[in-house]
Amino acid sequence: MSSATLKRSKAAAKDAPAKRAATVDADYLALIETFPLRPIRTRGDYDRAAAVAGRLALRDLTKGESDYLDVLADLISAYDRDHATLGASGDTPAERLRRLLEDAGMTATQLAVELGIPRSAVSMMLTGARAVSKANARKLGGRFKLNPSFFL
């Protein structure tokens, strides 16, 4: 291999990570400009973060958007962990879910439709006859902007 070819190969190798990052980072950076990722310290920050996460959760995401949402969800969970009083009294997942539905003014049928699960499954979770599965805990966590472990 000639020295000129070797130099071109090294230069291309240096540029490759930057080119790959640019294709992912465009979507990610656009979201950063809209809502920068930093610790959530106030209820207002939390509400804005939840609104951004809610908009993203309702559609198919690019890789950059998915990466952004993962980090944003971690920030929201950290705030929940530090500030949430829901579930602190030792109540059951069924009681927590019933309280959330009541606070949201939702019916079990509305929740079932929104989550894409059978109405009977929601009813059994609300009565405690059926434990919340990990998959449904993730859906509920996304819907109510809470850490999925809250429902387990």
Q: State the chain's mean pLDDT as an integer.
A: 79
> What would the mean pLDDT of 128-140 be, rounded to a whole number?
86
This prediction's pTM: 0.45
Structure tokens of 40? 């959530």
**Distance of alpha carbon 74 from its chain centroid, rounded?**
7
29 touches 68 (CB < 8 A): no
What token pair was written down for 45?
Answer: 């920050």
Q: What is the mean pLDDT of residues 62-72?
A: 88
| Residue 52 pLDDT greater than 50, yes or no | yes
Q: Where do the domains of the chain lie, and which CATH numbers do they carry?
A: 3-83 (no CATH), 93-151 (1.10.260.40)
Q: Which residue has the tokens 């606070």?
A: 103
Residue 18's Cβ-side half-sphere holds a number of Cα atoms within 13 Å equal to 5
Residue 37 has pLDDT above 90, yes or no: yes
Say whether pLDDT at 76 is over 90. no
Q: Mean pLDDT throughout 84-99?
A: 71
Model confidence band, residue 38 (pLDDT cutoffs 50, 70, 90): very high
Q: Rounded distance, CA 107 to CA 82, Å?
A: 29
Confidence tier at 6 by pLDDT (50, 70, 90):
very low
Give the number of other CB atoms < 10 A from CB of residue 73: 19
pLDDT of residue 78: 84
User: pLDDT-based confidence at 3, cuts 50/70/90?
Assistant: low
Please state the rounded mean pLDDT for residues 82-99. Answer: 71
Q: Would you state the structure tokens that stand for residue 49, as one six-digit string? A: 């973060």
Q: What confidence tens digit (pLDDT) does each residue in 12-26 have? A: 555 555 555 555 568
